[in-house]
Amino acid sequence: MSYPWEDWDHITKIDPDKDLVDGETFEDVCETGTDALEIGGTLDITEEKMERVIEATAKYDVPIYQEPSNPGVVIDDDRLDGYLIPTVFNASDSFWITGAHKEWVRIEDGLDWDRTHTEAYIVMNPDSSVAEYTEADTDQSAEDVASFARVAEKMFGQKIIYVEYSGTYGDPEKVAAAHDALDESTLFYGGGIHDYDSAYEMGQHSDVVIVGNLLHDKGVDAVRETVEGAKDASAELVDAE
């Protein structure tokens, strides 16, 4: 079975609690060349904020996925291509491994399993909101990260492994270790991507590069630069095979 993200190089994550740069629109975001939009955030997320972004982006030809931070903000909307559900493998609080997911299944009548996919998060920045929120053990060596990635793929059947450095640029050695540990799963990388070079470097060590804060802080031209970097890295890797 194939999955859409196997053909992606770049995702733009939109935080519904944050504004776009003055003068920019969601149409501008969709014209950056990014392969998909992921709508989600950690703090102060509501259904109304989620719905606002879905409404603004659904008219454009870019796949839209919701990444809910908790079961209470999941939006049932046919315009979504699906749901990407984090499960934080290095969380100290089990609620973020399976607890929140159990609650979603309990309260949701007729969950759309065909459009619901999990992301095996490995959270690496101790100062990030997601690390504090999930009580993640971020003190992980390259070998540890590789082992988490392999456990996620081989023992838990995860199709997406997500090395998350939210708010800071990660260690390429640790990202590469995760990538090298995988056979078929897709490696997402997010954290500190801010220009062509950073996207290009992490694009060499992961399958999909994700930008988020950059969109809200610097705007669509900066995002477009990272799209180019990620796609150039991907193309170079294909040529080398």
Residue that has been written with the tokens 């970097």 in this structure: 229
Residue 3 counted as an annotated binding residue: no
DSSP class of residue 116 equals E
Q: Which of 84, 79, 37, 86 is nearest to 58 (CA)?
A: 79
User: Which amino acid makes up residue 214?
Assistant: L
Q: How many CB atoms lie within 10 A of CB 54?
A: 19
**Do residues 15 and 216 touch, judged by C-beta distance below 8 A?**
yes
Residue 42 counted as an annotated binding residue: yes
Token pair in block for residue 186 = 């897709």
Residue 167 counted as an annotated binding residue: yes
Residue 189 counted as an annotated binding residue: no
Residue 13 counted as an annotated binding residue: yes
Q: 25: Cβ–Cβ under 8 A, 6 or more apart, which residues? A: none
Residue 238 counted as an annotated binding residue: no
Q: 190: Cβ–Cβ under 8 A, 6 or more apart, which residues? A: 13, 162, 163, 164, 165, 166, 209, 210, 211, 212
Residue 213 counted as an annotated binding residue: yes
Q: Are strands 10-14 and 64-66 parallel, antiparallel or unpaired?
A: unpaired
Residue 163 counted as an annotated binding residue: yes
CA dihedral 167, 120, 201, 135 (to 10 degrees): 30
Residue 141 counted as an annotated binding residue: no
User: Which amino acid makes up residue 192?
Assistant: G
Distance of alpha carbon 45 from alpha carbon 74, whole angstroms:
10
Compute CA 77 distance to the chain's CA centroid, rounded to the nearest angstrom: 20
Residue 129 counted as an annotated binding residue: no
Residue 212 counted as an annotated binding residue: yes
**Which residues carry a binding-site annotation for sn-glycerol 1-phosphate?**
13, 162-167, 192, 212-213
**What residues are designated binding site?**
13, 15, 42, 162-167, 192, 212-213
Which residues are known binding-site members for Mg(2+)?
15, 42
